[in-house]
Amino acid sequence: MFTPGSGRGDGIPSLRRLLLVPFMRGWAAYRKADRTQWAPRPRDATTVTTVGPDPDRVLIFGSGGAVGWGVLTNELALPGALGRELTRRTGRGTIVELVADTSITAGNAVPLMNAIDISRFDAIVLVLGANDAARLTELAKWKHRIQNVVDHLSENSPTPTLTFLTGIPPWAPIPRFGRVGRVVAAHARHMNNITARICDSRLDSTFVPLAGAEPSHAFKLRDRQSYRIVADTIADVFAPRLDDARSQTGA
């Protein structure tokens, strides 16, 4: 667990951070540019509908696993997978809309959300953190930024909108840089702890740990089965909360 006051308040000693941050930011920028050139990702419609009565409307917002690296359609990526898993549990239809990009971080999320009508959605799934982990974002900044995101969603929804923040999955080793990968993995765990505590302090936000998912990082390729596993994990937490909200509103 992170101990306040250690290092620079981010769990990484100052000297190590001074050495690692430029390397990790350079690596992340290189991987993003390289992956954009050749890796498959969905280019189709960003709204995926799973047929059923009285559909729930869900927004997936973020980067990392939300982008859909490794598959060619959003039906096969997280939107389609999550819609199917939710409908299987609730018996209702699901309309999933996606706003995702490799450049989205906790720091720029709120300005991007200003262009979205949050009131249209019954629930929002935030997929944030992989980019920040790769860049070793200071934990104090991560806490401040993720708090701003959930506050923004709460303040801009006329009715309570359920918000689910997915954890950063276990970090995949970086080829040829095993020790660095372990540092990033530990940093990601600290970030998850912070996110979980923020969610625990609120009624409208729920943390969804992805500790059981396969090792990943901001630019890792997945396949259809990988997205189904992640969607299954999210839906296990998500569906009961949706059902409860429906029963409370009489919808």
pLDDT at residue number 185:
83
DSSP lists the bridge partners of residue 17 as none
Least confident of 98-112, 153-167, 171-185: 171-185
Per residue in 92-108, pLDDT (tens digit) is: 999 999 999 988 999 99
Question: Mean per-residue pLDDT for 41-45?
Answer: 92
Number of C-beta neighbours around residue 185 at 10 A: 18
* CA 131/CA 129 separation, integer angstroms: 5
Is residue 25 in a domain? no
Q: Is the pLDDT of residue 27 over 60?
A: no
Provide the pLDDT for residue 182. Answer: 77
Residue type present at position 102: T
Percent of the chain with pLDDT strictly greater than 70: 75
Instruction: For residue 13, tell me if it sits in a domain.
Output: no
Q: Which amino acid is at 83?
A: G
- Residue with the bigger pLDDT between 107 and 176: it is 107
Outline where 10-134 has alpha helix (H).
14-38, 78-90, 109-113, 130-134
The total number of structural domains in the chain stands at 1
- Residue 81 domain-assigned (yes or no): yes
Determine the Cα–Cα distance for residues 21 and 126; give it in Å rounded to an integer. Answer: 25
* β strands within 119-220, DSSP E: 123-127, 162-166, 205-208
Q: What is the pLDDT at residue 97?
A: 98
The answer to the question of residue 85 being in a domain is yes
Say how far residue 10 (Cα) sits from the centre of its chain.
20
CA dihedral 223, 208, 30, 67 (to 10 degrees): 50
The residues, ordered by sequence, that sit 6+ positions from 220 with a Cβ below 8 Å of its Cβ are: 69, 172
Domain presence at residue 27: no
Q: For the residues 75-80, what does the mean pLDDT come to?
A: 96
What average pLDDT is seen over the chain?
Answer: 83
pLDDT of 157 over the 60 cut: yes
Tokens 């806490």 — which residue?
143
Residue 194 CA: distances (Å) to CA of 131, 140, 148: 16, 9, 13
Q: Is residue 2 part of a domain?
A: no
pLDDT of residue 197: 97
Residues spanned by the domain of 183: 38-246
Beta bridge partners of 61: 99, 126
Element (H, E) at 224: helix 224-249
pLDDT of residue 96: 98
Identify the band that residue 246 occupies on the pLDDT scale cut at 50, 70 and 90.
confident
Backbone angles phi, psi at 158, to 5 degrees: -65, -25
Cα 155 to Cα 119, 166, 208: the distances in Å are: 11, 20, 22
Res 3 pLDDT > 50: no
Check if the beta carbon of residue 61 is closer than 8 Å to that of residue 96.
Answer: no
Q: Is the pLDDT of residue 14 over 80?
A: no
201 within domain boundaries: yes
Assigned domain for 148 exists? yes
Identify the residue whose tokens are 């559909």. 55
Q: What is the pLDDT of residue 1?
A: 34
- What CATH number is attached to the domain comprising 175? 3.40.50.1110
208: which strand partners? 166
Which residues have C-beta within 8 Å of that of residue 197, sequence separation ≥ 6?
Answer: none
